[in-house]
Structures are given as structure tokens and as C-alpha cells.
Amino acid sequence: MADTTSIGEARMRIGELAEATGATVRAIRYYEEQGLLRPERTASGQRVYTPDAVDQVRWIRTLLGNGFPSRAIAKLRRCTSAEEVTPEQRAVVYEEYARIEAEYRAAAATKERFESVLAFIGEGPGRPG
């Protein structure tokens, strides 16, 4: 059951946030440990989240799904337009793009080496022995 503040804004517990976002409770705790999500605490120490946390978790999951590590996400903040993106945030995005590009090139080189082995043994890509 959601709590409310003195001004009536709803607060969700961690399980409710997980259900609202499709994330696991464990993932939400991880996001908190990484500094990506900052819940409030009740007097008894339980985590409670504002409705904005739903968008925050969805944003975190989108970036993770696009290959951003949590350390990079921690340097970013949600923006609603390109004009809001700072030079520092742009640098983080370009840095991660360069990292992904290097990984792609390494994977492509590995694939080429495998194809040469397949050619050597008389097989082609996608053809089982």
C-alpha cells in the first residue's frame, strides 16, 4: 500500500515500484547502490519512492539495454530535449559509443578468424558439418 506525504503525494514501496516498471526488487536495490536511484526512507527505514521513480527506473533500464554501464548512467541525468544535454553528458555518450565501437570491431575480427577456420575445414558460415 502506498504511503503519502503531508501534501498528499503518493509514495510507493520497492515492490510496487518493481511491479510498475517491470524491474525486479533486486535490480532496484542495485540501482540504488550504484547511485542511480535515491529513495526516501520512512521513519522505520523502509524505502519509499515518488511517482517520478517510475520514469527514472524506465530510463535506467533503457540505457542499460542500450549498452550503457551503470557507471556511465550515474554521470547522466534524464533530459527531455537535446538542449538540456550538457557538454559533460555528451562526452559520456561519445565515450560509451567509442567503447561499443571498439567491442564491435573486436567481435568482427573474431568472426573473420572463425570464418577462415571454417573455410579451412571445408565448411562455410551457417553450414553444419
The answer to whether 119 and 111 are in contact (CB under 8 A) is: no
* pLDDT of res. 1: 52
CB of 61 closer than 8 Å to CB of 23: yes
Tell me if the pTM is above 0.75: no
Lowest mean pLDDT, pick from 38-52, 73-87, 88-102: 73-87
Mean pLDDT, range 82-104, rounded to an integer: 92
